Amino acid sequence: MKILLLDKNHPLITEQLLAKNFILEEDFTSSYDEVCGKIQNYDGVIIRSRIPLDKNFLEKASNLKFIARVGAGMENIDIPVAEKLGIQLINSPEGNRDSVAEHVVGMLLILMNRLFIASNEVKKGIWLREENRGDELLGKTVGLIGYGNMGKATAKRLSGFGCKVIFHDILPDLSDEFATQVSLEELKEKAEVLSLHIPMTEETHYLIDSTFISEMKNDFYFVNTARGKNVETKYLVETLKSGKVKGACLDVLEYEKASFEKLELENEDLQYLLDSEKVIVTPHIAGWTHQSKEKLAQVIVDKIIASFC
């Protein structure tokens, strides 16, 4: 089988697939149109986020048997068209679930204990103790939306901090030793920390909007390591200002490019997030550890070999 690699990934992908007699070609620079012009020559494609695999692309890929996404999200692929064409879809959420979970906990600890703020103050010669009194995770009810690989790994970590973890998911009967499944209404009633672990779909676009936030009974901390457009930022900013949202940990932003390479828009809401002491922002790196890079690649290779060798 002939496979086109469109993004740079861990070299084990190339090494292990070549050892299984796959034919590999790398193209990390060609434009969307240039790739469309040659995609009919390949049986498989391995991607991250650089090029969208839309209806036009997939219809030109007349010999494509699989698409492998090194990562979890599949929103840059026209899934209904791919399925209609009989193209197998492969992703690797197992590979970075641990790094995402650790990132969630790390951001919460930094935010709730004012660690960045206090550290920067001391480095400037400012010694404030009462003003930097922290807020403990212990005893808090954490509500997760989505209980797949990322949600489960996050629940496991937070349960170790003495949190009561509840979650809502569209699939039934997912409760385990780390978290209890509840209705969305119950989650809104009980959660003191809210964390998103959902894909980007029509149903989850702007899931967190003014209505959702107003229906949360408690003032709460908010964490998003899922997708930026799961959240309507202007309402998040409004409720950060009002105090309804006590603080936000954002690894993803509504204003990111589809390729996640940089921000494509700047406005007053973004500037508030960047300036506020109540917000921690990171550049879409929750799943981006040295270990996850290797694990993501290994999961992809294992799944390709299992299906096509």
Catalytic residue, chosen from 227, 261, 268, 294, is 227
168 is catalytic: no
How many Å separate Cα 92 from the centre of its chain?
A: 12
C-alpha distances in Å from residue 136, one per residue of 113, 114, 118, 133, 248: 8, 11, 16, 10, 15
256 is catalytic: yes
227 is catalytic: yes
Residues with active-site annotation: 227, 256, 284
